[in-house]
Structure 1
Amino acid sequence: MSSSTKIVVLKLKELVIACVLAVLAVILLVLFIIHITSGTRKMPDEASLGTFSPGVYTTSVTLSGNTMELAVTVDSNTVKSIRLVNTAETVETMYPLISSSLEALEKQVREKGSTDGITYSADAKYTSLVLINAIDTALDKAKK
């Protein structure tokens, strides 16, 4: 009969340390699980977020010392309109191609949503390039 009763003696300090470590392990496990599962949430599509902040964005255009404002109106995904504001009659007289160039550029920008790949007439190259740079500046202001 060699069975003997074994008595386990635990000191209170060791018991408290073991409990604290167990609680910390559980907390770390829960945080790890939350971290892993938070990455699986589906983020909204880029298209649903929109490309632009809706509004009217203006930029200055200077042609031979004559300054005018170019206004680009956008909603969250598309360019709504591009127009010249505060245009002096002398500017339209000096640059008769500015209106037709802007109309052609506006049509392409509204279709494409940006100035990438836009074509323009060789007759109005300088005017078109100035307008494209101004449109780019206004669209950069509108981007989120």
Structure 2
Amino acid sequence: MRVEQLAAVWIRSDELTPEEITDLLGVRHSSTGPGDVWILEPSVADEAASLDDQIAAVINPLRVVADKLSELAEKGAEFELLLTRSLLGPGVGMLCFMLDSPVIKFLADVGGSVWFDEYDETTEESAMRTPPPA
């Protein structure tokens, strides 16, 4: 079994470009996505890093600019913590996403949301050999 996971922050604004969002926040984005989405990912794409460590890597730089994130949300920008996970191979079993309460509170305070995206890439044959949870 192998688990690949990533935490990222996406900010979408109809009024501001990713560069303007960077200027406002003082936090440099990692990349941009379709429709000029401002994206912040962990600086080191280390597959061995826990999801909690990746969440901290993208949320902690934004904690100090929470007031500016709130301003963006009031102006209609969308702030989202995106969590993706791919479950690869047999024996994956049951996993769940867990967020600690300070992250949940931070997201609530700045008008943010969470997007969970999980892929199970086991084959039907391997899934049939894995007994269902009791």
Normalising by structure 1, report the TM-score.
0.27
Higher helix share: 1
For the pair shown, the structure with the greater C-alpha radius of gyration is 1
Higher strand share: 2
